[in-house]
Amino acid sequence: MKKRNWFTSWRRLLLWSHVLGVVGFYLVLWFRTNPNSRKSQPALKSASIFNFAQAGRSVSIIVPARNEEQNIRRCVTSLLEQNYDDYEVIVVDDGSTDGTARILDEIAHYHPQRQRLYVLRLRDLPKGWAGKPHALHAGVQEARGDWLMFTDADTWHAPGALRFAMSKALAEGIDLLSLSTEQELPGFWNKVMMPMAYLGISMQYPTRLVNDPNSPVAIANGQFILLRREAYDIVGGYARPDMRNTLLDDRDLARNIKENGFRLQFVDGRKLVRVRMYATLRETWRGWRKNVFLGSRGGLPFVLLQLIGLPMIAIIPFLLPLLAWLKRRSMRKGNAISAAELYTASLLELGPLLAYRLWMDKQLNVPWYYAFTHPLAAAMFEGIIAQSTWRVLTRKGVDWRGRQYYGNGGGTAKEITSIGSS
């Protein structure tokens, strides 16, 4: 009898420790990401108050593009139609093998603002470079602007996006301004996966700390980065040896800017910039797989903690009601944990979990009922994290846009043909 009581007591202790852990995690996450604060994310309607003379504030917009025939026309057209006087658009065609080059030629010949467009075509990727840093570096070499703006080929920019960003940067003395973007999430898997991805990013890189000059936390969104050319040149940009082969070009650039004493700000730009990152589950898996291990702030120990903790805070809470139901149907009696106790634990865990997930879904314009796919998203990311960790540590490498990184070459990109343009 004593042995049974001891076993039951330990099970009860584990249950309520888990409840406290889950509730505590989502409460800390809530306050850490500070979702109700707008101090670091000012309302975009305030952009109308800025009326600065733009002479001498030239901007070079640089767009790296590799096999982007589905997106490039929309992106470049929106950039050529910005409500700003002094800017140029440099598209770096990084060895595309699809219809990207043809579409760029059409825009260069027929768009009314074609005089602003310059297409730089790259053929080979030098040893020691990753594709995107090399394309950005090549674009910077051609840039004539006082400011640089980096963006991705899968974005769309409202006509006032550049004007807003420049006005804010000049008014507040910001050296690197990055905008969050509205995510276009077609299909089932995008809506399942993106909220979980945002949860992980916001947990490790809360905006409040990113914008705090006294905090070492730094990140930028590669879909929209505006920075002073002088600051870029001082830190060495993507020509730095430690930047040439990074797959986290936006985060590492932001870190170098902040470490060198320049001002970094990350603000809400969802009304100004939209992005369509992935179209299929395969693209989503590979896209996050290349970043998730390398993007962990805590290195391998924190990644291992994620592998252990993710099922605890995202899957088990959804299993407790099932366990309580099975317990209730069981005919076994005794002093074990009751069904009522399990139902109570379930309510306590699912309350803050679903509250946070529903808020996140609202920010991403995901239907509310996708909150119940939270355990599915966690299971998928468990696989992505595990595979990303394994492939990097064993030097098998991660692949993206037809190139493989961090394989036998120790960071040097290698051309591969098996994945095409995915």
> What would the pLDDT profile of 314-368 be if each residue is shown by its tens digit?
999 999 999 888 888 775 555 577 888 889 999 999 999 999 999 999 999 999 9
Q: Is the pLDDT of residue 44 over 80?
A: no
Q: Render pLDDT for 207-266 as a digit per residue (tens, 0 to 9).
A: 999 999 999 999 999 999 999 999 999 999 999 999 999 989 999 999 999 999 999 999
Q: Is the pLDDT of residue 94 over 90?
A: yes
pLDDT band at 408 (very low <50, low <70, confident <90, very high): very low
Q: Is the pLDDT of residue 39 over 50?
A: no
Domain residue spans of the chain: 7-36+187-204+280-404, 44-181+221-277
How far apart CA 246 and CA 133 sit, in angstroms, is 7
| Residue that wins the pLDDT comparison between 173 and 404 | 173
The pLDDT score that the predictor gives to residue 115 is: 96
Triad 14, 18, 23: Cα angle to 5°? 155
Buried b (16+ CB within 10 A) or exposed e, 8-37: eeeeeeebeebbeebbebbeebeeebbbee
The predicted model scores a pTM of: 0.87
Determine the residue type at 346. Answer: S
pLDDT band at 116 (very low <50, low <70, confident <90, very high): very high
Q: Is the pLDDT of residue 371 over 70?
A: yes
pLDDT band at 26 (very low <50, low <70, confident <90, very high): very high
Instruction: Assign a CATH topology to domain 44-181+221-277.
Output: Spore Coat Polysaccharide Biosynthesis Protein SpsA; Chain A (3.90.550)
Taken as a whole, the chain contains a residue count of 422
Q: Is the pLDDT of residue 419 over 50?
A: no
